[in-house]
């Protein structure tokens, strides 16, 4: 058994083995070691894989204990049981980071009911079920929730209608919970990533021309990294964000706000130069 104190801050990160989830876990572990505040990290995956177990082993060490948990988050009973397993393990919960998600493409007119439902269940309902199951423990710790939404939840995303709808719902769910649970001292926020290079999107960036075209669309001139998102999540999850609740923080290099950059004939960008 570990020598981490029972009072250690306990954080559940869903989708911990994915690109952004792994980044979040790494940043939280680094923060714990830098601050001297012990941390219990519950790393969730859809199943216990050797990669998830080796991530947990790699993160564990002085001041940090990490443990792997599995649940299919499209299954409400399994999602609720995950929170029970984590609170049973740690005896408390200070933060739920609801990051697991999947951007299945599909035009709305050709999407089956099952595909629509699966996308909504994972990207929206799972956060509600996890939050509901975690409410008592988070109320006790005066903890918080950070959900990883998407810029696709802020603007329509042609070809990703169910995903976009789910992430828009997720942003509103966080704002709603923030209002309803503020009285218990529970903060709830969302982060909306832009284009981030992770296993979810890697196939797109393998094509150099697509990469260059995408980079050109981002005002800050590059595709984001898991760490860009992890730093924002860690901030919202931490004490320095103690007076922030109900926000949807865009972490996107400026792309979601850049629509007017695309208008031809801008006075600062003559047509020949576009």
Given the rule CB under 6 A, which residues bind ligand NAP? 15, 17-21, 45-47, 72-74, 99-103, 122, 148, 150, 193, 195-196, 198-201
Inter-residue long-range contacts of 100-104, CB under 8 Å, 24+ positions, other chains counted: 100/14, 100/15, 100/18, 100/21, 100/44, 100/46, 100/73, 100/126, 101/15, 101/148, 101/150, 101/167, 102/163, 102/200, 103/150, 103/152, 103/160, 103/163, 103/200, 104/160, 104/162, 104/163
CB of residue 161 vs ligand NAP: minimum separation in angstroms? 14
Active-site residue flag, 160: no
What span, in angstroms and rounded, lies between the C-alpha atoms of 87 and 184? 18
Annotated catalytic residue within 160, 163, 205, 243: 163
Please name the helix (run of DSSP H) or strand (run of DSSP E) that holds residue 244, with its range, or none. none
CB of residue 21 vs ligand NAP: minimum separation in angstroms? 5
Question: What are the backbone angles phi and psi of residue 41, rounded to the nearest 5°?
Answer: -110, 120
CB of residue 148 vs ligand NAP: minimum separation in angstroms? 4
Sign of dihedral through CA atoms 247, 248, 253, 256?
Answer: negative
DSSP 8-state symbol, 252: S
- For ligand NAP, the closer of residues 18 and 253 by Cβ is 18
- For ligand NAP, the closer of residues 8 and 125 by Cβ is 125
What span, in angstroms and rounded, lies between the C-alpha atoms of 106 and 162? 8
CB of residue 15 vs ligand NAP: minimum separation in angstroms? 3
CB of residue 156 vs ligand NAP: minimum separation in angstroms? 15
- For ligand NAP, the closer of residues 4 and 83 by Cβ is 83
Cβ proximity of 52 and 68 under 8 Å: yes
Question: What are the backbone angles phi and psi of residue 112, rounded to the nearest 5°?
Answer: -80, 160
Question: What are the backbone angles phi and psi of residue 211, rounded to the nearest 5°?
Answer: -60, -50
- For ligand NAP, the closer of residues 196 and 241 by Cβ is 196
- For ligand NAP, the closer of residues 15 and 253 by Cβ is 15
Question: What is the set of active-site residues?
Answer: 163
């Amino acid at each position: 058994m570990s020598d981490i104190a029972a009072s250690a801050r306990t954080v559940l990160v869903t989708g911990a083995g994915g690109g952004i989830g792994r980044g979040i876990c790494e940043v939280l572990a680094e923060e714990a070691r830098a601050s001297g505040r012990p941390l219990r990290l519950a790393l969730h995956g859809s199943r216990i894989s050797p990669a998830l177990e080796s991530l947990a082993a790699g993160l564990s060490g002085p001041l940090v204990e990490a443990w792997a948990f599995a649940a299919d988050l499209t299954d409400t009973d399994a999602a609720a049981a995950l929170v029970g397993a984590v609170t049973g393990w740690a005896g408390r919960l200070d933060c739920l980071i609801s990051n697991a998600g999947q951007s299945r493409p599909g035009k709305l007119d050709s999407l089956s009911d099952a595909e629509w439902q699966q996308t909504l269940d994972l990207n929206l309902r799972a956060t509600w079920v996890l939050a509901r199951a975690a409410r008592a423990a988070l109320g006790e710790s005066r903890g918080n929730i950070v959900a990883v939404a998407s810029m696709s939840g802020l603007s329509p995303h042609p070809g990703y209608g169910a995903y976009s709808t789910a992430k828009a719902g997720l942003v509103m769910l966080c704002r709603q919970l923030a209002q309803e649970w503020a009285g218990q001292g529970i903060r709830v926020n969302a982060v909306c990533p832009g284009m981030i290079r992770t296993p979810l999107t890697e196939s797109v960036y393998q094509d150099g021309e697509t990469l260059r075209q995408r980079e050109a669309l981002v005002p800050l001139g590059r595709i984001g990294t898991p760490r860009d998102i992890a730093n924002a999540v860690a901030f919202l999850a931490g004490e320095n964000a103690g007076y922030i609740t109900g926000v949807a923080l865009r972490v996107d290099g400026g792309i979601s706000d850049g629509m007017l950059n695309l208008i031809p004939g801008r006075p600062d960008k003559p047509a020949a130069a576009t």
